[in-house]
Amino acid sequence: MVMKHGIQPEDLYRLKSVSNPQVSPDGTEVVYVETCIDEKKNDYVSNLFYINLTEKNPLQWTFGDDKTNSPVWSSDGSKIAFVSTRTGKPQIFVLAKTGGEAKQVTHCKNGATSPVWSPCGKKIAFSVKLGKNEDIFDKAEDDKKEEKELKPLEVDNMKYKSDAAGFIDMDQYTHIAIVHLESGELEQVTTGSHHFHLDTWSPNGKYLTYLADLTEDIDFSFYNDIYLLDVETKQTRQLTEGAEMFYQTSWSPNSRYIAFLGSDREFENATQAKLWMYDMEQSNLTNVTSDFDAPVGDFVVGDFLQDVVAPRVQWMNDSHSFYFQVTDHGNAAIYFGNVAGEIYPAIHDNQYVYGFSLDSQNDKAIVAISTTTNPGDLFYVNLKTGEKEQLTKVNEEFLWSRILSVPEAIEFEGADGWKVSGWIMKPIGYEEGEKYPLILEIHGGPHAMYAHAYFNEFQILAAQGFAVLYTNPRGSHGYGQKFVDAVRGDYGGNDYQDLMAAVDYALEQYEFIDQDRLGVTGGSYGGFMTNWIVSHTNRFKAAVTQRSISNWISFYGVSDIGYYFTDWQIQAELDDIEKLWHHSPLKYVDNVQTPLLILHSEKDYRCPIEQAEQLFIALKHRKKETKFIRFPESNHELSRSGKPTLRMNRLEYIRDWFVKYL
């Protein structure tokens, strides 16, 4: 008999992700990406899988220990284009549905991504990065294998680094090219010293849409406009103009309407994304969800799934109706809409819809769903009736030998009488009448949302005997524009009160929680809030701060986003040092009595490691109980997509710190 137990950090190597389902044009087949971890390589491996929706038996289509993603069907359903690293840098390959070897169709020096089929199926547009004196004919195999010469980095712009890309080559730009599949001929369709981001090809074959910010002063520009590029004449036409950020275009089948997402940034990065529609016949732009108080798109925070691709608006064949994703009250849902202005939920259960692909003839879709006890699987869903059939069970066999804690949804009164939502998890092995320690988890962002979704870290803590409390305090997405904007200029104010109210509620409602054994942890904004909490109350007996902010004054100059994020969120710049310092946990370090573990990545450019260094030295200088863990070769995304061994180490450090002190 197999003894069941809870999730452990090393189980990360056993769990698999499924993502990015793509339904064939006739609605009878689906291709998707499955990702696992290769323990020997200490890296992620992803491959394409296929399901015939009549037989419903998953089959593996690509093999190997590389990364394969971005599958796209040709318009006749006979081929799949995808991106793979099997030859080194990511390149585009084409695989016939009937089988055989995939054919590599790009060999670009810096790789090729984002394949987009022409409607005729004879060409593929793609994105390519080109540096100074480089063109699309430079091949990857011509790259010298020897170690690159060390050179000084010349910096003229404030946007010279990013957490995702590291230091940015300011002479390298993203351009759009086309490969003609029969001849192999390459055609570059954009040029110049700006980034041009490929988006979609119109069904009538006339236009490519792309996104670009052509502002000269890129340091203070945070916008994206949508452009049409005439494939024949190469003439461009700007569809949007102004202080907006637009993305993810989607054409109606008759090529009349272009749906896309975006916002007017009225509340800077706290502005809810809306669904917009451009009518090519009338040449007018409409905000479809102007009266809809929820963000369109995916704003759920998690720590497990890989290669999640937020779905575009997807059209039915009538060119009148469509489906789209919405983040709302702890759920990521699918909504129905049409050009007449109707909007209503099609799927709005307690779950995280992290991807879907529409059968545009039958109001059905392949939907990627995560729940609190299922990391993620694909389901065949009737969008009219809500009926669904599970197609994949990638973690079922493994989870059969594990016990999962089932979160209970809660709602309580936060600051100013506002309603705040969250969840509480009992520890694995819970027994009536026993007392258990509680850990408060705080998400990053702050404009993100915990959801009815699987969270690996929480299950590991529950398996260790901890109760877990996680909430969506003000600043979180999914609860309306006023709610998400409320944190700006008030970091450590009513958001802190919301979190303390959550703990008070848990202690009042759940007798099994030991009020003398409370812990708190969080990352990014959640790390800032952990620092703030331990410097403003002694009610917690242990804390773990991750990729945190401790000093807004230095953050202004060292973060890749600091010089504008500080203004947007704290609503103060360097001419208001007093306010920046007022909101900095470092100011209150003398008050810290809670043993604090500090976790940070060496190459975190979002919340640079100097934030952790300052906090650690200040605490040690004052003889406080603390420890500092530095993760090599890792960035801000360590907990989600970092090296698997380091992700596991991180989980062990968190678990062991709370075991020691709680």
Q: Known catalytic residues? A: 524, 636
The one-letter amino acid at 322: F
Number of helices (H), then strands (E), in the chain: 11, 38
Residue with tokens 């947007």: 568
Give CA–CA dist 12/648, Å, rounded.
7
Q: How far is CA 603 from CA 246, 555, 609, 635, in A?
A: 29, 15, 8, 5
Q: Which residues of 21-31 are buried (b: 16+ CB within 10 A; e: fewer)?
A: bbbbeebebbb
- What is d(CA 222, CA 224) in angstroms, rounded to the nearest whole number? 7
Contacts of 121 (CB under 8 A, 6+ apart): 74, 75, 76, 78, 79
Distances (CA, A) of 616 to 438, 537, 545, 610, 635: 25, 19, 11, 10, 19
Residue 187, amino acid: E
- Backbone φ and ψ of 129, nearest 5°: -95, 130
Strand ranges, E, within 62-188: 68-73, 79-84, 91-96, 103-104, 113-117, 123-130, 161-162, 166-167, 173-180, 186-188
Q: Please give the Cα distance from 6 to 247 (Å, whole number).
A: 41
CA-to-CA distance for 349 and 369, rounded, in angstroms? Answer: 10
Cβ contacts of 569 within 8 Å, gap of 6 or more? 269, 446, 487, 488, 489, 491
- What is the rounded (10 degree) CA torsion for 158, 606, 596, 572? 50
Q: Quote the CA–CA distance of 304 and 600 in Å, as a whole number.
A: 19
